[in-house]
């Protein structure tokens, strides 16, 4: 398949380009588009065959469900069933965070095929804020099912070059909208109920933090898989959590300790090992490895989030036998970083 690349400069978006991409979606084809989190590999969310094409293009197991992307929060009601309590909480979330990097799991309507939901009775819905994503969904007139636009097991793509590396020849169109703002995938929550009432379960942390969610709902439970390793026979609440993800080829080791101790560990390691190092900008003058990959200033979690996936890809491009990085702090956006990094490292944490 010949992949067409459409470059979009800043806010200059050609209507003809968007209309062409929307037609491909409606005709059952695949279009990669930018969002504020990461790039998405999109197809018609109501078309079972389009969903199968998405799984094939990514090399993804078809029991790992897709998120459907809608143009405005209220569109979710066409594809989901919500009782009063759920609807109220959804509305609160929508008012606070949509459009934006939040995905909500809701019971699906019949029109959403099981191949989109990986066989589940629920569907994940997200209303992205990126203007290109918004224009494409609106023009397509159907919800767009889109996982991150990487080959399964690779880090999510945060710029078009990553997408081209992974999916060129496997999709009809790649819309290049430059670098993604956030750089980590959306926060995923489900709306749940028990005797004490309705509450949110945080299934995947992202740009909308735990603290922000607690401003909307008093009770937010964090799924165990977010920051811990599940037992072999333990079923995760979100199917994606059982797959190894974001995996660089060389093993990634997360160093846990005081900043100075981690730095001296790295200084010794670079003498004896062929290692790539994801380091803070402040550490650059004190390290001399050829494979230094700065992730931003120490306290700049946003920069760290934005660069992480690109740096993991770059680390793969070196001939490093091992990759070292700091174990991030779990507060605020740090929880999302922590979640992605422990999984990329297959939970290899070394105390220093
Ligand atoms: O930021 C994002 O969310 C990006 C952009 C493109 O929107 N998309 C994304 O999709 O990260 P993906 O497929 O790479 O990750 C979706 C995650 C998977 O871990 C999947 O298991 C989970 O969402 N998921 C989808 N539907 C679900 C459902 N009904 N119940 C529980 N988890 C679900
Ligand atoms: Mg993904």
Q: Is the CB of 32 under 6 A from ligand 1?
A: no
Report the alpha-carbon distance of residue 239 to residue 64 in Å, rounded: 6
- Report how far Cα 267 is from the mean position of its chain's Cα atoms: 32
Kindly report the average pLDDT of the chain as a whole number: 95
| pLDDT value, residue 249 | 85
Q: Is the CB of 328 under 6 A from ligand 1?
A: no
| Nearest bound ligand to the CA of residue 247 | 2
Strands (DSSP E) contained in the chain are: 4-7, 31-33, 40-44, 67-69, 102-107, 122-126, 144-145, 173-176, 187-194, 197-204, 220-222, 252-256, 275-279, 292-294, 322-326, 349-351
Which neighbouring-strand residues pair with 103? Answer: 126, 188
Instruction: Say if strands 67-69 and 144-145 run parallel, antiparallel, or are unpaired.
Output: antiparallel
Q: Is the CB of 42 under 6 A from ligand 1?
A: no
Question: Which atom of ligand 1 is closest in space to residue 123's alpha carbon?
Answer: 29
Distance, CA 39 to ligand 1 centroid (Å)? 13
Q: Is the CB of 278 under 6 A from ligand 1?
A: no
Question: Which atom of ligand 1 is closest in space to residue 103's alpha carbon?
Answer: 3
Q: Is the CB of 102 under 6 A from ligand 1?
A: no
| pLDDT value, residue 246 | 72
Residues (pLDDT < 50) of the chain are: none
Distance, CA 101 to ligand 1 centroid (Å)? 12
| pLDDT value, residue 244 | 62
Report the alpha-carbon distance of residue 320 to residue 275 in Å, rounded: 5
| pLDDT value, residue 216 | 97
Distances (CA, A) of 103 to 4, 16, 152, 202, 203: 29, 29, 20, 10, 10
Distance, CA 253 to ligand 2 centroid (Å)? 21
The neighbour count for residue 267, using CB atoms within 10 Å, is 15
Report the alpha-carbon distance of residue 344 to residue 58 in Å, rounded: 18
| pLDDT value, residue 231 | 84
Report the alpha-carbon distance of residue 242 to residue 54 in Å, rounded: 19
Residue whose CB lies within 8 A of the most ligand 1 atoms, among 239, 245, 305, for a mutation test: 239
Distance, CA 179 to ligand 2 centroid (Å)? 17
Distance, CA 339 to ligand 2 centroid (Å)? 13
Q: Is the CB of 137 under 6 A from ligand 1?
A: no
| pLDDT value, residue 191 | 98
Distance, CA 185 to ligand 2 centroid (Å)? 7
Q: Read off the pTM.
A: 0.97
| pLDDT value, residue 143 | 98
Helix axes 301-317, 160-167, angle to 10 degrees: 40
| pLDDT value, residue 247 | 74
Report the alpha-carbon distance of residue 331 to residue 328 in Å, rounded: 9
Q: Could you write out the DSSP letters of every residue in 135-203?
A: HHHHHH-S-EE--BSS-TTSPPPSSHHHHHHHHTTTSSEEEE--S-SS-SPPEEEEEEEETTEEEEEEE
| Cβ contacts of 307 within 8 Å, gap of 6 or more | 183, 294, 295, 296
């Amino acid at each position: 398949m010949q992949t067409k690349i459409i470059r979009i400069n800043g806010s200059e978006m050609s209507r003809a380009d968007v209309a062409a991409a929307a037609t491909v979606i409606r005709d059952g084809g695949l279009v990669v588009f930018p969002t504020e989190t990461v790039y998405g590999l999109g197809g018609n969310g109501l078309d079972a065959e389009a969903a199968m094409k998405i799984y094939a293009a990514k090399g993804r197991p078809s029991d790992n469900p897709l998120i459907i992307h809608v143009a405005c929060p209220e569109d979710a009601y066409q594809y989901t069933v919500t009782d009063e309590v759920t609807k109220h909480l959804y509305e609160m979330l929508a008012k606070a965070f949509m459009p934006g990097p939040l995905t909500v799991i809701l019971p699906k309507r019949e029109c959403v095929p099981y191949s989109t939901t990986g066989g589940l009775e629920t569907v994940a819905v997200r209303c992205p804020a990126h203007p290109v994503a918004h224009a494409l969904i609106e023009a397509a007139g159907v919800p767009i099912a889109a996982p991150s636009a990487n080959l399964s097991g690779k880090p999510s793509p945060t710029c078009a070059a990553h997408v081209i590396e992974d999916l060129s020849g496997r999709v009809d169109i790649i819309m290049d909208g430059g670098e993604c703002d956030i750089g980590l995938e959306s926060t995923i929550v489900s709306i749940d109920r028990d005797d004490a009432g309705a509450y949110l379960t945080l299934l995947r942390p992202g740009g909308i933090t735990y603290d922000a969610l607690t401003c909307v709902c008093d009770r937010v439970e964090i799924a165990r898989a977010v920051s811990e390793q599940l037992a072999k026979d333990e079923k995760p609440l979100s199917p994606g959590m059982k797959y190894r993800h974001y995996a660089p080829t060389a093993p990634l080791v997360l160093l846990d300790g005081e900043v100075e101790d981690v730095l001296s560990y790295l200084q010794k390691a670079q003498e004896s090992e062929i290692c790539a190092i994801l380091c803070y900008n402040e550490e650059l003058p004190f390290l001399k490895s050829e494979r230094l990959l700065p992730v931003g200033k120490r306290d700049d979690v946003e920069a760290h989030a934005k660069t992480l996936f690109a740096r993991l890809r770059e680390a793969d491009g070196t001939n490093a036998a091992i990759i070292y990085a700091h174990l991030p702090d779990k507060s605020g956006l740090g929880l999302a970083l922590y979640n992605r990094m422990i999984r990329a490292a297959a939970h290899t944490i070394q105390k220093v």
